[in-house]
């Protein structure tokens, strides 16, 4: 049994002082420090740092030069190891709209890697499954997705991979969209997110009624709010769906953060939408058969279209805390428990509750990562 003492323990809505966190492979509980020092075989002094649940990125395409849609298992392994430095203990490798054969192959490789990543000796963050961002999207809102590979929504294509696909982004208004949502809802546990969509408010609300429970990267690649048709944005804000935010201060102006914090509360999910250029220098990169340019925090296709981000999830937590008018506990919740809830994994992930996997990150006041612990094993220090 291990213990972390002298830290500020973050619960979903508050922080606890002068207590210790006990864990082994799973969280045991929060106890008096004296008891922890007496009972634990190994004691870690946090030196006043935040003791937070491990961060979970449910929408990330690439990092450090690698990308999920390359269909290279070695690249995803490298990604998972590098993500530890950002406090990420688990993630959903996220595909782009690429060829269906490639997507099938990615799913097969991720089945193997997901099991591998649960082993104590695995050197990286745990792979929870796959997020299919497309190919069932609206060409009008394709953003930086490749239109060559867009397909009509078809649940029968996805259901054979329901064991590994945990999340799918689709446009509900496309022909076959409602049937696809209904079937996936009835025959799988896949979380369904509306995104890259030109849906009207009524169409989006119909999708929600059929089984949509999330909105992908709010405001980006979706019909905007208008007083005569609130669009996908209005439906996301006016319903109980979980709503993603890329909190890099570029995709969504930081002046919007307080409104989102008040409107969505615990249903707000921080993501990165990071590309292979994350953690890399400025320059030109390729994703899904298209070339984009990184300059500072901006990724754009050569025609100026915004193309994902280079955000680190711990940076997103800091931005949301500093500009959203929320506490550190609330900001971390948006990148941990809310993310886990949004894909149906809150029973085992997302908080420091007894019985859950011991996924822990130690953060300083600036949200810099000091240590990252995955299932009780320290994998970044």
DSSP bridge partners of 353 = none
CA separation for the pair 199, 233 (Å, rounded): 10
Place of tokens 């809830």: 341
| Residue 217 per-residue DSSP state | S
Q: Closest Cα to residue 21, out of 379, 373, 381?
A: 373
DSSP-derived pairing of the beta strands 50-53 and 8-10: parallel
SS3 at position 62: strand
SS3 at position 167: strand
Q: Which residues contact 250 (CB under 8 A, 6 or more apart)?
A: 297, 298, 309
CB atoms within 10 A of CB 118: 15
CA atoms within 13 A on the CB side of 223: 26
CA separation for the pair 334, 339 (Å, rounded): 6
CA separation for the pair 200, 174 (Å, rounded): 11
CA separation for the pair 95, 59 (Å, rounded): 9
Handedness of CA 242, 243, 244, 249 (dihedral sign): negative
CB atoms within 10 A of CB 29: 14
Measuring CA to CA, how many Å separate 244 from each of 55, 58, 218, 233, 240? 14, 9, 6, 11, 13
The tokens of 63 are what? 């990092």
The tokens of 121 are what? 């000796």
Catalytically active residues are: 273
């Amino acid at each position: 049994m291990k213990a972390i003492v002298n830290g500020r323990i973050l619960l979903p809505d508050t922080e606890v002082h002068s207590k210790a966190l006990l864990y082994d492979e799973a969280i045991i509980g929060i106890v008096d420090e004296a008891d922890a020092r007496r009972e634990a075989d190994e004691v870690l002094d946090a030196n006043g740092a935040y003791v937070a649940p491990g961060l979970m990125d449910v929408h990330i395409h690439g990092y450090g030069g690698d990308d999920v849609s390359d269909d290279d298992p070695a690249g995803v392994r490298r990604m998972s190891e590098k993500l530890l430095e950002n406090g990420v203990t688990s993630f959903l490798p996220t595909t782009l709209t690429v060829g269906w054969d490639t997507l099938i192959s990615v799913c097969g490789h991720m089945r193997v890697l997901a099991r591998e990543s649960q082993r104590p000796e695995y050197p990286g963050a745990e792979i929870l499954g796959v997020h299919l961002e497309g190919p069932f999207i609206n060409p009008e809102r394709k953003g930086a997705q490749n239109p060559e590979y867009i397909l009509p929504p078809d649940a029968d294509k996805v259901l054979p991979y329901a064991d590994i696909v945990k999340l799918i982004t689709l446009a509900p208004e496309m022909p076959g969209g409602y049937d696809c949502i209904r079937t996936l809802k009835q025959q799988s546990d896949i979380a369904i997110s509306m995104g890259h969509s030109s849906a009207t408010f009524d169409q989006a609300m119909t999708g929600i009624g059929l089984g949509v429970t999330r909105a992908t990267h709010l405001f980006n690649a979706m019909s905007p709010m208008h007083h005569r048709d609130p669009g996908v944005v209005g439906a996301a804000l006016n319903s109980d769906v979980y709503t993603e935010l890329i909190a890099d201060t570029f995709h969504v102006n930081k002046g919007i953060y307080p409104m989102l914090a008040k409107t969505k509360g615990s249903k707000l999910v921080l993501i990165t939408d990071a590309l292979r250029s994350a953690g890399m220098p400025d320059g030109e990169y390729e994703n899904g058969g298209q070339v984009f340019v990184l300059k500072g925090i901006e990724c754009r296709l050569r025609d100026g279209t915004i193309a994902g981000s280079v955000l680190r999830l711990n940076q997103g937590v800091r931005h949301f805390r500093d500009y959203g008018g929320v506490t550190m506990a609330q900001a971390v919740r948006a990148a941990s428990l809310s993310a886990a809830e949004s894909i149906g994994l809150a029973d085992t992930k997302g908080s420091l509750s007894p019985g859950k996997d011991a996924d822990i990150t130690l953060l300083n006041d600036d949200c810099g990562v000091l240590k990252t612990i995955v299932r009780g094993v320290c994998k970044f220090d």
